[in-house]
Amino acid sequence: MKREELKALDLTPEQIDQIMAIHGKDMANQVDGDQLKDQIKELEQQLSDRDKSLKKLKKDHQENEDLQKQIADLEALNKQNKQSYEQKIQDMERNTAVDKVLNDYHVRNHKAVKALLDDQRITYKSGELTGLTEQLDTLKDKESYLFDLGSQEGGYHPKGGQSSTFYSSFTEAMKAGDVDAYIQAQANTKES
């Protein structure tokens, strides 16, 4: 996706920036997934190479009992390592899937939200997560500040700790798009 293509659709620069930001997040998730797949293939190839080497060594040295015991120990160790690698792969896939869902929910702080989730209720099997969206929906209702809900038209828009701006005229407030602040300031001066 290119900015020129979006400009051709008569989108405003702000809309183009928002679309490009979303597209950038999607591309980052895709890159993470590709890297994960490459790591999985590499680990599987390493395990396969080890198993082949051990089988060849075992076949070539059938008479030597000490060597046979070493090979048996190495096979057991390789089996244990394989299980460990498979668990790590499954954990990486699960964490990637959880992060993708958190991105889809526009979570502001993944680490904070993960700490509030009941990990025991989240299951990951065959690429499917269960139990996460229900928890996020509940959390979104109770702790909405953890989620980027976008700007909402009308209502109260705090300045984020900044001092409020005072306008000398209604026209100046209109140009700044901050009529609410002007009206509030006028009401406060009448009360004083």
Q: Which of 47, 41, 134, 52 is nearest to 92 (CA)?
A: 41
Q: Judge if pTM exceeds 0.75.
A: no
Q: What is the mean pLDDT of residues 139-166?
A: 68
CA-CA distance, 178 to 144, in Å (whole number)?
A: 25
Q: What's the distance, Cα to Cα, between the start and end of the chain in Å?
A: 55
Higher pLDDT, 155 or 25: 25
Task: Give the pLDDT score at 152.
Answer: 52
